[in-house]
């Protein structure tokens, strides 16, 4: 089972992109979902996640005020709206799903294939 991430691309600094992550089945409407990223030569890091109902959201400090995560349970899709992009946001972005909200970062169960985001200066 793999999540399908899309929406990456090349954008200039200050620009915007919206990533999408489609889950393959209705069971994922009961999962917390979110995003990690991995830049070249660096470890994968947490970006944001959202509870199954959408009532709880968490962001990494470095994206607060710039990125917005949301989900549409009817479409079983989670989105990451990225504004005011910086060159340091360049990375492969991975969507992920886990049953728990509070254990999301440590107990991720499903991953997407990754989508490349490149921000030029």
- The strand pair at 9-12 and 115-120 is best described as parallel
Q: What is the per-residue pLDDT across 30-55, written as a single tens digit (0 to 9) for each? A: 999 999 999 999 999 999 999 999 99
Q: Taking Cα atoms as reference points, which of 106, 43, 40, 46 lies closest to residue 80?
A: 46
Q: How far are the Cα atoms of 13, 50, 54, 63, 119 from residue 113, in angstroms, in the given order?
A: 25, 19, 23, 22, 20
- The strand pair at 45-50 and 57-59 is best described as antiparallel
Report the pLDDT value the prediction gives residue 33, as an integer from 0 to 100. Answer: 96
Residues 6+ apart with CB under 8 A from 70: 50, 54, 78, 79, 81
Counting Cβ atoms within 10 Å, is residue 31 exposed (0-12), middle (13-18) or buried (19+)? buried
Indicate if the pLDDT at residue 22 is higher than 90. yes
């Amino acid at each position: 089972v793999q999540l399908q991430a899309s929406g990456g691309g090349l954008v200039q600094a200050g620009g915007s992109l919206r990533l999408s992550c489609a889950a393959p089945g209705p069971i994922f409407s009961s999962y917390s979902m979110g995003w990690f990223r991995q830049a070249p030569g660096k470890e994968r890091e947490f970006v944001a996640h959202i509870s199954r109902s959408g009532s709880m959201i968490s962001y990494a400090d470095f994206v607060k005020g710039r990125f917005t995560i949301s989900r549409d349970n009817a479409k079983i899709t989670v989105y990451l709206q990225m504004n005011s992009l910086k060159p340091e946001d360049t990375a492969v972005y991975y969507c992920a799903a886990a049953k728990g909200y509070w254990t999301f970062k440590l107990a991720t169960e499903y991953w997407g294939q990754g989508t490349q985001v490149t921000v030029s200066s």
